[in-house]
């Protein structure tokens, strides 16, 4: 594409987006999407009382720090899994263990969820979610829907956005830097040295196959681009990991302008088996306390695929043959062919390099540029060989055929779709039927709630030739991506079995409850059961360090109890069979009630006690 042509397209697109924007504004008050087939859509999404949804929808809660769980096709929000933010509703961030997990941070930017995979398909063991703000990765256990580990801040990673995509057998979950910085983190270098001194990093977080425990696998030192999104290769591309990057200009300042000057940026392709070898060979540097591979010193680990301007999503087709990269500032999506990529690598068909990383010859590695529409971002797949690409600027989803590359259908979205997720649509075997559009703007498609607006999430039927809008749901900020998994793949427990509670401070009989004092340390072993706490009188001295180990000895689903202490800023919720630890210093003298915060029974109001703090 010549510069002139590029400019023309750019101006044309600008005018077009203005047109779209004005359309959006003028139609904002009325439902603009087709209203035909209302009854059909109603039946398709109606889940009768007592009936269950067909799929789980896990959607990230962005800067709320949470993960939300919904059901498809009802689109009902079912529960919230707190991850990076304290959440008094479940007592998360108030007990010792979750407080330790959260560490110094009280928020995170939960971006991309990914369900663990076996042979490229969801296995329903864990859900990983990245934190764009504080460079962390969390693991939720899908046996009990609880956050079990927060890994990080990951050394050297800055702005963990291009994360958390898993490799086909959950060997690794991907991480990387959206914002390049001088390394190791904590190093100072003036912004003028950005292009030379600042570095990006892409990484593989290793997953223990038994416990799911995360640890650092490998890191690769990258040029100071902005690593944006990723996906792991599978099938034909198994062993590879892909990351898009914008700002290959290595620009700083007003990136809106400075990073959008080139016609092409890159997709970084990492051969992670080679990365493993490099680590074994000792070909790494220690940076920030971890092993980092410099591609200059170890060829064969990473290559760059030129991709249309400022790419956002990169998505691997179910068979792994195609790597779909979308340049968000152009109107085409590029389908790279994995076989051609490997041939180009073998033939050293390079057109240059970036800091020693070979750049592959664009013309020889692509199969097609698919004319999907304006502002393509992300692509998902169904079980019929179709791909679905979200179009932010055009506010639509384009359906197109892998292989023949023709766009066969388009559906308008209200409004400004970001991510989209098809049922198991990023696995080796998508199940089709449903697609969820995760939109950035809701523009009055709901009862007005003032200036702070929810996001809109739309359910689309993709079973037929034409996509059909079924349902508008509204979600808290801000769903960045979601995972849709067949309901029967998950078998969560609802009670922690007594036999599994190995907490040394757990007690199961009211007779074992006690208060022990050791100098100024007061340790309480407490039982919570319908409808009392034992002990229910805690006498301490001002300044004592109080530790309460409380066990909910119920073994029945939904019999949760809470321990809220007035004016001590504590609320811990204990699930049936669970033991949690509350630690605080009794700094305020006086008498403070504690009570069950999670409604439990007919005598819930009576489930209370007193913390008596004798003044010094």
Q: Which residues bind other proteins (CB under 8 A)?
A: 493-495, 497, 529-531, 554-557, 601-603, 606
Min dist CB 565 to other proteins, Å, is 24
Structure tokens at 239: 């062993």
Chain centroid, CA 377 distance in Å: 16
Shortest Cβ 497–other proteins spacing (Å): 7
Find the shortest distance in angstroms from Cβ 493 to other proteins. Answer: 6
HSE-up (13 A, CA, CB side) for residue 84: 28
Nearest CB to other proteins, comparing residues 213 and 494: 494
Q: Which is nearer to other proteins, 142 or 529 (CB)?
A: 529
How far is 64 from 455, CA to CA, in rounded Å? 12
* Closest to other proteins by CB, 26 or 555: 555
Q: How far apart are CA 300 and CA 273, in angstroms?
A: 10
In the complex, what is the shortest distance from the CB of residue 556 to other proteins, in angstroms, rounded to a whole number?
5
Query: Please, which residue, 22 or 555, has the CB nearer to other proteins?
Result: 555
Nearest in space to 242 (alpha carbons), one of 121, 335, 138: 335
Q: Which of 105, 101, 97, 48 lies closest to 71, judged by CA?
A: 48
Minimum distance of other proteins from residue 492's CB (angstroms): 9
Closer to other proteins by CB, 32 or 601: give it.
601
Nearer to other proteins, 106 or 555 (CB): 555
CB of 578 to other proteins, least distance (A): 14
When the beta carbons of 40 and 606 are compared against other proteins, the nearer one is 606
Backbone φ and ψ for 401, nearest 5 degrees, come out as: -100, 130
Give the position of tokens 């074992």: 512
Q: Which is nearer to other proteins, 254 or 491 (CB)?
A: 491
At closest approach, how far in Å is the CB of 527 from other proteins?
12
- Strand ranges (DSSP E) for 247-375? 264-271, 285-287, 290-293, 302-308, 311-316, 322-327, 333-337, 350-354, 357-360, 366-370
Locate 312 and state its tokens: 């956002």
Q: Please report which residue ranges of 85-193 form alpha helices under DSSP H.
A: 96-102
Asked if 474 and 454 touch (Cβ cutoff 8 Å), the reply is yes
Tokens of 276: 């493993």
Q: In angstroms, rounded to a whole number, what is the distance separating the alpha carbons of residues 234 and 373? A: 27
Nearest approach in angstroms of CB 555 to other proteins is 4
Helix (H) or strand (E) holding 278: helix 272-281
Q: Which two tokens stand for residue 182?
A: 């001088």
């Amino acid at each position: 594409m010549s510069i002139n042509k590029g400019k023309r397209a750019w101006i044309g697109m600008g005018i077009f987006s203005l047109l779209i924007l004005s359309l959006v504004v003028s139609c904002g008050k009325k439902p603009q999407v087709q209203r035909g087939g209302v009854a059909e859509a109603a039946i398709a999404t109606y889940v009768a009382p007592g009936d269950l949804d067909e799929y789980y929808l896990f959607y990230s809660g962005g800067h709320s720090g949470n993960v939300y769980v919904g059901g498809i096709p009802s689109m009902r929000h079912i529960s919230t899994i707190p991850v990076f933010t304290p959440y008094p509703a479940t007592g998360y961030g108030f007990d010792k263990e979750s407080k330790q997990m959260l560490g110094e941070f009280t928020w995170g930017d939960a971006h991309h969820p990914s369900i663990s995979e076996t042979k490229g398909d969801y296995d329903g063991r864990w859900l990983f979610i990245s934190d764009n703000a504080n460079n962390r990765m969390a693991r939720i256990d899908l046996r009990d829907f609880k956050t079990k580990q927060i890994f990080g801040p990951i050394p050297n990673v800055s702005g963990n956005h291009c994360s958390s995509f898993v490799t086909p057998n959950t060997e690794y979950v991907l991480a990387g830097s959206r914002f390049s910085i001088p390394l190791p983190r904590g190093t100072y270098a003036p912004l003028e040295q950005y292009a030379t001194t600042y570095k990006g990093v892409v990484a593989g977080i290793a997953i223990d196959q038994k416990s799911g425990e995360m640890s650092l696998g490998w890191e690769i030192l990258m040029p100071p681009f902005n690593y944006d999104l990723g996906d792991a290769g599978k099938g034909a591309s198994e062993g590879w990991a892909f990351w898009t990057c914008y700002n290959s200009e290595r620009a700083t300042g007003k990136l809106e302008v400075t990073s959008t000057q080139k016609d092409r940026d890159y997709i970084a392709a990492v051969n992670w088996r080679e990365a493993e070898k490099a680590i074994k060979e000792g070909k790494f540097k220690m940076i920030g306390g971890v092993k980092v591979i410099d591609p200059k010193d170890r060829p064969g680990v990473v290559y760059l695929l030129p991709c249309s301007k400022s790419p956002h999503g990169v998505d691997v087709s179910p068979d792994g043959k195609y790597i779909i990269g979308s340049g968000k500032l152009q109107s085409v999506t590029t389908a790279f062919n994995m076989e051609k990529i490997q041939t180009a690598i073998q033939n050293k068909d390079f057109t240059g390099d970036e800091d020693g990383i070979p750049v592959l010859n664009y013309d020889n590695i692509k199969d097609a540029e698919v004319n999907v529409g304006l502002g393509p971002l992300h692509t998902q797949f169904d079980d019929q060989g179709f791909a679905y690409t979200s179009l932010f600027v055009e506010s639509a989803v384009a359906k197109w055929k892998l292989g023949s590359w023709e766009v066969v259908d388009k559906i308008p979205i209200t409004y400004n779709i970001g991510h989209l997720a098809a049922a198991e649509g990023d696995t080796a075997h998508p199940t089709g039927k449903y697609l969820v559009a995760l939109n950035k703007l809701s523009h009055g498609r709901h009862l007005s709630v003032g200036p702070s607006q929810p996001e809109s999430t739309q359910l689309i039927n993709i079973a037929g030739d034409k996509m059909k809008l079924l349902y508008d749901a509204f979600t808290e900020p801000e769903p960045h991506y979601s995972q849709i998994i067949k309901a029967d793949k998950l078998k969560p427990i609802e009670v922690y079995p007594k036999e599994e509670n190995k907490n040394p401070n757990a007690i199961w009989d009211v007779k074992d409850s006690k208060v022990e004092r050791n100098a100024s340390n007061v340790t309480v072993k407490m039982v919570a059961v319908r409808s009392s706490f034992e002990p229910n009188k805690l006498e301490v001295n001002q300044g004592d360090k109080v530790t309460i180990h409380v066990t909910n000895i119920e073994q029945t689903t939904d019999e949760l109890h809470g321990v809220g202490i007035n004016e001590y800023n504590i609320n811990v919720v204990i699930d049936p069979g669970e033991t949690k630890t509350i630690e605080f210093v009794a700094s305020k003298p006086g008498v403070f009630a504690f009570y069950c915060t999670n409604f439990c029974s007919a005598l819930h109001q009576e489930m209370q006690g007193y913390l008596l703090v004798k003044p010094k």
